């Protein structure tokens, strides 16, 4: 695939190198020449030193010829701008790094394929380290349209403790579906989980406004 990555910082650099190594045609744009130079020295990536907020850049790139655009700068306003431009040029697959959920909501309105709220990821990882390996309430939310993949952990005081997944499902709206259960070692078929134990992680696909129903069911 032909992939445009906007932003050559830590996230953009790592992504460019990984994509190039598996054979994708990657172009990275950053106004910091040293970042571009570092990436192009590490992998087979085309580097362009430009300001991503310059509208002329995208005509020069023939943006409509790209399969994927990734907005990976550390500024939400720039990533929103890039996403809007990519939509205008008809790019179907747009992925965005974001710092807060307000930005996520705007990105959902734009119809980007996926956006990741990095603060949620970092906070989730720190929380899991503090509380223990299997006690993380939420490691990461993956947003796509109006849906989100969430995880919730069964504790010793959860209402769900000892129940089957089918019992939990009967309490949930049709806009929320449990897709897997992780027991600490393996992913289990939800229909075969007859008793939820402490430390079990329930993974569900939900409309954003239905997530609280999962919290109520698990307790």
CATH of domain 121-218: 3.30.70.1450
Burial of 79 (0-12, 13-18, 19+ CB in 10 A): buried
Whether 129 has a pLDDT exceeding 50, the answer reads yes
Distance, in Å, from the CA atom of 82 to the CA atom of 95, rounded to the nearest integer, reads 10
Q: Is the CATH code 3.40.50.720 the one for domain 2-112?
A: yes
- Model confidence at 61, pLDDT cuts 50, 70, 90, reads very high
Q: Which run of H or E residues covers position 155?
A: none
Tens-place pLDDT, residues 180-198: 888 888 888 888 899 999 9
Tens-place pLDDT, residues 77-97: 999 999 999 999 999 899 888
Distance, in Å, from the CA atom of 55 to the CA atom of 59, rounded to the nearest integer, reads 8
- Model confidence at 150, pLDDT cuts 50, 70, 90, reads confident
Q: Domain residue spans in the chain?
A: 2-112, 121-218
Determine the 3-state secondary structure of 98 from DSSP: strand
Average pLDDT over residues 187-215: 86
- Model confidence at 161, pLDDT cuts 50, 70, 90, reads very high
């Amino acid at each position: 695939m032909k992939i445009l990555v906007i932003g050559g910082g830590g996230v953009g650099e790592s992504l460019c190198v990984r994509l190039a190594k598996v054979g994708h045609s990657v172009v990275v744009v950053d106004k910091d020449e040293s970042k571009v130079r570092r990436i192009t020295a590490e992998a087979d990536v085309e580097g362009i030193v430009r300001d991503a907020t310059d509208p002329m850049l995208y005509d020069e790139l023939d943006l409509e010829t790209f399969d994927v655009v990734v907005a990976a700068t550390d500024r939400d306003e720039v990533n929103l701008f890039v996403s809007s431009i990519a939509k205008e040029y008809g790019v179907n697959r747009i992925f965005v790094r974001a710092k807060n959920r307000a930005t996520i909501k705007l990105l959902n309105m734009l119809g980007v394929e996926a956006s990741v709220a990095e603060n949620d990821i970092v906070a989730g990882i720190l929380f899991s380290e503090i509380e223990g390996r299997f006690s993380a309430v939420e490691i990461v939310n993956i947003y796509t349209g109006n849906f989100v993949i969430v995880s919730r952990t069964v504790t010793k005081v959860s209402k769900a403790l000892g129940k089957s997944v089918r019992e939990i499902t009967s309490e949930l709206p049709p806009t929320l579906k449990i897709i897997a259960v992780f027991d600490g070692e393996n992913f289990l078929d939800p229909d075969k989980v007859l008793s939820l134990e402490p430390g079990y992680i329930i993974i569900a696909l939900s409309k954003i406004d239905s997530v609280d129903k999962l919290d109520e069911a698990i307790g």
